Amino acid sequence: MGDHRAFFLSTIFNMVKRVNEKVLDPYDVAVMQLRKAVNVLGLGEEAFEALKTHERVIQVKIPVKMDDGKMRVFIGWRAQHNSALGPYKGGVRYHPEASMGEVMALSMWMTWKCSLLQLPFGGGKGAVRVDPRRLSPREIEELSRRYFASLARFVGEDLDIPAPDVYTNPQIMAWYVDEYYRIVGANIFGVVTSKPPALGGLNTRIIATGLGVATVAREAARHILGGLEGRSVAVQGFGNVGSYAAYYLSTWGARVIAVSDSSGGIYNPRGLRIEEVMKVKSEKGSVIHYQDSKKISNDELLTLDVDILVPAALENVITADNAPKIRAKMIVEGANGPTTPEADEILFKRGVFVVPDILANAGGVTASWIEWVNNRMGGWLTEEDARSKLENKMAEAFNSFYSYLNRRSDIDPRTAAQAMAVERVYNAMKLRGWV
């Protein structure tokens, strides 16, 4: 009897706890952020509705003949949020928890990101609800071809240009291009980006997000710290984004004194030799095997006394708990969503300058834009051209954001970036007669 009562009480307690701790759906978060930007811009309810509403959300059924001979049906989506500035642009993820709400939110974020970077693109995002780790390569190929075939009427180099995202890659993009060729009867490489170089891709894509983070940090340091030369930097996460960000920052004269990965961090106040750290990470699996340094934890890294902090691993690592202890003068968000809204407020009040993810990690989509332009020019650019165009575009985007921020010192940088992006989309919609 006592056990029954205890079970009953704990069930009620857990239900109440779940309601109180309701994790916000990404779509709700995207809409809340848009509401904030619309308010800052002083636009009305009509504008909010027009900016919020997706132009099209497509759901497709994907039957796949599995290796055991049985048919299995998967569900996929492509959300096309807004095309006022150009064709929709955004990745496709294969994930067992993918949902329509998630792709709708992600496509809205892509609209703002492309707008902020002044790219001629709108926002799109796709997904298939599948765990690709449980499929054979042949099953993944069939699923990919079928997904893209179902979307063939809705994509195109002037209409919607997908790219890889979580658990998708250049090989999958090659299958998409080929499937599109079979359907439309033409080799249109610009229909997707991040392809293998043999099919019109660029190697620059691999370094793009890290190089973009470093470029934005360099520009921000020029305005706020009086330059990058000799400035100290800590980078959390030494993967694709973090390692190239650290590499370029150190090449340009900054002193990268701490980096970390999921096994822990390393610290040397004189500066780490980043190329060596990259070598150690690729040979031994973690940065912690690098010799000339002291071991530190990921938490310690975040609160080091540095000029620039680059979180480039996970979301929600800078929170209300550690934000008061952060000693960096500037945070450049390589990762998506590393700072919680409470931490944002604390940092703003404390005068820590945050370059928001929507701008700082936009090097990937910017490289995609360069690849798309190059495909349409028949492969005109060299890798060197692509790299310098990427750097110029990121620097330009930061500088125009920074002058906007100077005119709106009443709002925090994240809200400013969002407002700036929304305003551009709204103006394009107005010119086209959509609002």
Does 314 sit near ligand NAD (CB under 6 A)? yes
What is the closest distance, in whole angstroms, from the C-beta atom of residue 300 to ligand NAD in the complex? Answer: 11
| Binding string, residues 212-251; x marks residues near ligand NAD by CB under 6 A | ------------------------xxxxxxx---------
Residue 164 interacts with ligand NAD (CB under 6 A): yes or no: no
Considering only residues 51, 130, 335, 416, which one is a binding residue for ligand NAD as defined by CB under 6 A? 335
Q: Does 361 bind ligand NAD (CB under 6 A)?
A: yes
d(CA 13, CA 289): 46
Q: Which stretch binds ligand NAD (CB under 6 A): 61-69, 169-177, 256-264, 340-348?
A: 256-264
- Rank residues 196 and 239 by Cβ distance to ligand NAD and give the closer one: 239
Binding residue (CB under 6 A) for ligand NAD from 246, 257, 312, 420 = 312
Provide Rg for the chain, Cα atoms: 23
Q: Which of 261, 307, 371, 412 binds ligand NAD (CB under 6 A)?
A: 261
Q: Do 125 and 405 form a contact (C-beta atoms < 8 A)?
A: no
Nearer to ligand NAD among residue 18 and residue 284 (C-beta): 284
- Does the footprint of ligand NAD cover residue 179 (CB under 6 A)? no
Name the nearest CA neighbour of 361 among 216, 195, 204, 206: 216
Least separation in angstroms between CB 311 and ligand NAD: 9
CA angle, residues 328, 332, 335, in degrees to nearest 5? 120
Cβ-based nearer residue to ligand NAD, 259 or 419: 259
Pair 285, 262: CB distance under 8 Å: no
Q: How far apart, in whole angstroms, are the C-alpha atoms of residue 193 and residue 197?
A: 10
Does 190 help bind ligand NAD (rule: CB under 6 A)?
Answer: no
Cβ atoms of 331 and 354 within 8 Å: the answer is: yes
- Report the distance separating Cα 111 and Cα 125, nearest Å: 10
At closest approach, how far in Å is the CB of 260 from ligand NAD?
A: 5
Q: At what angle do helices 274-284 and 240-251 cross, to 10 degrees?
A: 160
Q: How far apart are CA 133 and CA 400, in angstroms?
A: 42
Active-site annotation holder among 125, 195, 281, 393: 125
Query: Which whole-number Å values give the CA distances from 375 to 217, 254, 266, 287, in the listed order?
Result: 30, 35, 42, 37
∠ CA 88-366-169, nearest 5°, is 75
- Is there a catalytic annotation at residue 125? yes
Give the orientation angle of helix 26-41 with respect to helix 413-432, to 10 degrees.
80
How many residues touch ligand NAD (CB under 6 A)? 20
298 binds ligand NAD (CB under 6 A): yes
Q: Report if residue 336 touches ligand NAD, rule: CB under 6 A.
A: yes
Closest-approach residue to ligand NAD (CB):
239
Contact residues toward ligand NAD (CB under 6 A) are: 209, 236-242, 260-262, 298, 312-314, 334-336, 361, 364
So which residues are the catalytic ones? 125
